[in-house]
Structure 1
Amino acid sequence: MAHFITTQKPIKFLHVFLTFVSLISRSLSSSPPPPSIHDLLLSRGLPKGLLPKEVKSYTLSDNGTLEVFLDEPCLTKYENRVFFDSVVRANLSYGSLIGVVGLSQEELFLWLPVKDIIVDDPKSGLILFDIGLAYKQLSLSLFEEPPNCKPQGILKNEVRKQKGFEALR
C-alpha cells in the first residue's frame, strides 16, 4: 500500500536544499582572486622585487603579455636609478620578461631602455638586464623585496627649470 504525502513541507525542504546546493556549487566554482604581481613574478621564476610596491594592478593575457599599471611614473634604485612609466609591458615567460616597454635604467648619466630581463640560472644568483647597448648582470639579492618608488624627480627638475626660465623672461 502506497502512502502519498499531501503536505507542502517536503517541497519547501527540496527548494531550500536545492538553493543551498546551488550556492555551494557557485562558491566552489568561483575562481580565487589573482595573485599579487609580486607573487606572480615569484611563481614565474623571477624575483618579486623587480616591480615596485606601488603597482596598482596588472593584466596577464593568455599569450603571456603582461601589463603593469602604476598611478604615476616613478623612480627607484637597485644598483642604479630605475624609471618606471605608469604602464610597463612585457612578454612574461618562466624566468624572463622579454620586450619590456616602460622601464629605463640610468647608466653613466644616460637613461637607457630595459629591453629584456632574464634569470637563466637562479642558482647563479644573477639576473641579466638587456639595456640595448650592453647586458648588465646584477645580483638577485637586489630584488628580494619590492622597492618603494617615488614620483619621478625628473618632473621636479623640469618644474624648477621652467620656473627659472620664467624668472628670466
Structure 2
Amino acid sequence: MALLQVTASTQLCFLVLILTLSVCSSFSISSSLTVHDLLKKKGLPAGLLPKEVKSYEFNDENGLLEVFLDGPCLTKFENRVFFESVVRANLSYGELMGVEGLQQEELFIWLPVKEISVNDPKSGIILFDIGMAQKQLSLSLFEDPPSCKPQQGFMSYSGRKGKGIGVQR
C-alpha cells in the first residue's frame, strides 16, 4: 500500500512539473514576441508603432495593449504623429480601439487618434478615426516601424488631462 501512495504522489508531482514547464515555456514564447510582431499577428501593420518601443504588456483576455516608450516622441506617416510615453488601446484582430496617447496633426491642429482599423487587407487601406473624420491611408506607409524623435516641451492645451485635442510647440 505504501508503494501505491508513493507512486500516486510521484505522479502528482510529475504532473505539476509538466504543467509548470508548459506554462513557463508559453510565457517565454509570448514574451519573445515584439509588439511589432504582435501587431502583424493581429492583422495590423508593424509600422503603427515606432522602433523606440521600450516594452509592452498585452492582456489576451481583455485585449488591453499598453506600449511604453522612453518618452514622448514625434514621427511622420503621411502627416506628423505624436506618441506619448504610454500608448494604450484595445487590440483585436484588425483594429486598435479606444486609442490613448497618440495624436495626429491635421491642418496645423493636433487631433487624438481614437481608432485604427484594417477592414480589408486586400484594399491596401488603413483607417484612422480622428474624431471628426475617418482618414484613409495607404497600408504601405506602415510596413516598417518608423524612427521617433524625442520631443520635450510639448504640452497639451485642451485643459482636460488625457483628453488633449492638440499639442503646442
Residue correspondences, number: 135
The letter for the 1-side match of 2:68 is F
Q: Secondary structure at the match of 2:39?
A: helix
**Residues 117 and 29 (structure 1), Cα distance of their counterparts in 2 relative to 1, 3 Å cut:** closer
Aligned 1:126-165 pairs, distance under 5 A: 126-152=125-151, 155=153
Q: 1:33 aligns with which of 23, 29, 40?
A: 29
Q: What TM-score, normalized by structure 1, do the two folds share?
A: 0.74
Are residues 1:60 and 2:64 paired? no
Gaps of 5+ in 2: 1-13, 156-169
Q: What percentage of aligned pairs have identical amino acids?
A: 67
RMSD: 2.0
Once the two structures are superposed, residues 33-88 of structure 1 have per-residue CA deviations (whole angstroms, 9 ceiling, x without a partner) of: 32100000000000000000000111111200111000100000000000000000
Partner of 1:42: 40
Q: What is the CA-CA distance between 1:156 and the residue it aligns to?
A: 7.7
Give the distance between the partners of 1:40 and 1:107, measured in 2 at CA: 28
Structure label with greater radius of gyration = 1
**Residues 74 and 124 (structure 1), Cα distance of their counterparts in 2 relative to 1, 3 Å cut:** same
Are residues 1:104 and 2:100 paired? no
Once the two structures are superposed, residues 71-126 of structure 1 have per-residue CA deviations (whole angstroms, 9 ceiling, x without a partner) of: 10000000000000000000100000000000000000000000000100000000
The letter for the 1-side match of 2:29 is P
Are residues 1:93 and 2:92 paired? yes
Q: Secondary structure at the match of 1:117?
A: strand
Q: What TM-score, normalized by structure 2, do the two folds share?
A: 0.74
Gaps of 5+ in 1: 1-20, 158-169
